[in-house]
């Protein structure tokens, strides 16, 4: 879409109120840096769309402009690829949040985004591995050299705690030592929300072996990093490297077709599913995963229902 020139003043109005909203998110809401960057990117694209439609002031925005923006990001243009339903919905959340803020502050008299709904997102069930497959992957990371000890500790930690990959690589040495001693670890999830998660005995043993016999050797190559999981240069292990650790272990385990789709988040899905299959209630799993809403966690119950159906279908004499 070709941008339509608009006067400098009105465009400044959009920019001024956008900055005010981002300041509100940062100072009063305490939003995380990544959240702010995401909102800024989405809303700057929105204000550019408004400007191209000849809208120069937040008071001139109509519901048609918001729905037109939603259609535009779904279709894409010369500079942007079409957004999937989930990404478009996330972008619309930022737009609706801004308009709610403008209305609450008395800057506008109406909320043009109120009745614009996000595209329907098909419910996609998480990928959960069977317990035997998870065990095979963990056993495949069994080297006794520093990297092997690190890899086993990392994968055991991911599966034992359901931690996100960012939470695992972001873990500091002090927290890892506390986890080894107490069997509990403090994790900081999205929005810097803190939660305490138990660490199982297998992960504690792997973590202890790594901290005693693996990490000191890796640390010698660096400059005193505070990270628990180190790379070969003694710095903090990256998310990409941690992903590769799991991929390599899956290959060595001979997981085959499943191995191609195994990711650190797969272990998190498996953690939640296996807990529910073992009798844990949804609220407990919600706390362990750090989900803000129980509805996010309830999708895992669909996985366990599917597994029950499969067992019934293969085991009951009259299932067919």
Is 119 part of a structural domain of the chain? no
Query: Is pLDDT at 64 greater than 90 in this prediction?
Result: yes
Assess whether 204 and 309 both reside in one domain. Answer: yes
Asked which of 81-90, 117-126, 152-161 is least confident by mean pLDDT, the reply is: 117-126
**Rg of the chain over all Cα atoms, to the nearest angstrom:** 24
Percent of the chain residues past pLDDT 70, beyond the cut: 88
Please tell me the predicted confidence (pLDDT) of residue 141.
Answer: 93
97, 170: one domain: no
Residue 268 a catalytic site member: yes
Same domain for 274 and 184? yes
Q: Is 190 a catalytic residue?
A: yes
Same domain for 304 and 213? yes
How many structural domains is the chain composed of? 2
Residue 12 has pLDDT above 60, yes or no: yes
From the candidates 90, 100, 252, 265, give the one annotated as an active-site residue: 265
- Residue 282: its pLDDT value, please? 85
pLDDT for residue 1: 36
Q: Are 161 and 57 found together in one domain?
A: no
Least confident stretch, 44-58, 88-102, 244-258: 244-258
300 is catalytic: yes
Q: Model confidence over 150-177: pLDDT tens digits?
A: 999 999 999 999 999 999 999 999 999 9
The whole-angstrom separation of Cα 312 and Cα 94 is 44
Residues 83 and 228 grouped into a single domain: no
Judge whether 213 counts as a catalytic residue.
no
Asked if residue 142 and residue 49 are part of one domain, the reply reads no
Of 58, 64, 72, the C-alpha closest to 15 is 58
Statement to judge: residues 281 and 220 lie in one domain = yes
What is the rounded distance in angstroms from the CA atom of residue 207 to the CA atom of residue 228?
10
Residue range(s) defining the domain that contains residue 192: 131-315
At residue 312, the pLDDT reads 65
Model confidence at 139, in pLDDT bands (50, 70, 90)?
Answer: very high
**What pLDDT was estimated at residue 316?**
66
For residue 310, tell me if it sits in a domain.
yes
Does residue 168 fall inside a structural domain?
yes
| pTM beyond cutoff 0.85 | no
Catalytic residue of the set 164, 215, 236, 274: 164
Q: Both 55 and 12 in a single domain?
A: yes
- Residue 259 belongs to a domain: yes
Residue 2 lies in a domain: no
117: in domain: no
Give the active site residue among 190, 195, 205, 239: 190
Q: Is 147 within a domain? A: yes
Active-site position among 96, 152, 268, 269 = 268
User: Does residue 174 lie within any of the structural domains?
Assistant: yes
């Amino acid at each position: 879409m070709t941008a339509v020139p608009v006067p400098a003043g009105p465009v400044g109005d959009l920019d001024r109120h956008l900055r005010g909203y981002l300041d509100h998110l940062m100072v009063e809401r305490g939003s995380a840096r990544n959240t702010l960057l995401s909102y800024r990117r989405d809303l700057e694209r929105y204000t550019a769309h408004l400007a191209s439609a000849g809208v120069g002031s937040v008071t001139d925005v109509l519901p048609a402009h918001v729905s037109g923006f939603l259609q535009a990001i779904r279709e894409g243009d010369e500079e942007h690829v079409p957004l999937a339903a989930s990404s478009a919905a996330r972008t619309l959340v930022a737009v609706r949040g801004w308009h709610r803020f403008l209305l609450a502050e008395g800057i506008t008299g109406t909320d043009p985004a109120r009745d614009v709904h996000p595209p329907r997102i098909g419910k996609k069930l998480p990928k959960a591995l069977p317990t035997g497959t998870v065990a095979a992957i963990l056993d495949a990371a069994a080297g006794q050299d520093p990297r092997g000890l690190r890899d086993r500790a990392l994968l055991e930690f991911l599966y034992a705690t359901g931690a996100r990959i960012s939470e695992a690589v972001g873990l500091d040495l002090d927290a890892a030592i506390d986890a080894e001693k107490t069997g509990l670890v403090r994790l900081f999830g999205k929005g810097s929300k803190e939660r305490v998660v138990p660490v199982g005995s297998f992960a504690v043993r792997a973590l202890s072996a790594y901290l005693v016999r693996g990490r000191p050797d890796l640390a010698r190559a660096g400059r005193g990093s505070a990270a628990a999981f180190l790379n070969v240069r003694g710095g903090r292990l990256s998310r990409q490297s941690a992903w590769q650790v799991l991929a390599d272990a899956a290959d060595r385990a001979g997981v085959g077709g499943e191995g191609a789709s195994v990711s650190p988040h797969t272990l998190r899905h498996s953690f939640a599913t296996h807990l529910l299959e073992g009798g844990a209630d949804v609220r407990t799993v919600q706390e362990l995963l750090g989900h803000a809403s129980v509805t996010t966690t309830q999708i895992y119950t669909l996985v366990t229902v599917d597994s029950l159906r499969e067992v019934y279908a293969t085991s009951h004499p009259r299932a067919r």
